[in-house]
Amino acid sequence: MNCLEHSTAAGHRQSSGDDACEPEWRTHLPTQWRECVVTPLDLRVHHEYEVSASRMLGHDEDGVLCFYGHDYALARSRSDDDEEFYRVLERGETVRAWRL
């Protein structure tokens, strides 16, 4: 389960552990880098309340940034017949960065 998909108060601290709702900072991490990456001990998840966007910051034991990630998705209303509308993804981005 990924905390980016759940509502978490902005600035809420999540300690790394085996919590089922812990932000998954390892997603998209290449296998060959798993042993080299600095593991964040403190993860902060920030959610934008007006658009579908979030940001994760991970810090090591010295408080130095060792992980950064953000996601956003912009949707637009569309209609094929001008009567029924549906939402489509217009733009989106997922970025992850790790300190080795």
| One-character DSSP codes across 1-66 | --GGGS---TTEEEE-SS-TT---TTTT--GGGTTTSPPPSEEEEEEETTTEEEEEEEE-TTS-EE
Model confidence pLDDT, tens digit, residues 16-29 = 344 444 568 888 88
Distance (Å) of CA 10 to CA 37, 49, 61, 64:
26, 9, 22, 20
The CA angle 46-52-58, to the nearest 5 degrees, is 25
- pTM over 0.85, yes/no: no
Model confidence pLDDT, tens digit, residues 34-50 = 899 999 999 999 999 88
Among 15-24, 43-52, 55-64, 65-74, which stretch is predicted with the lowest mean pLDDT? 15-24
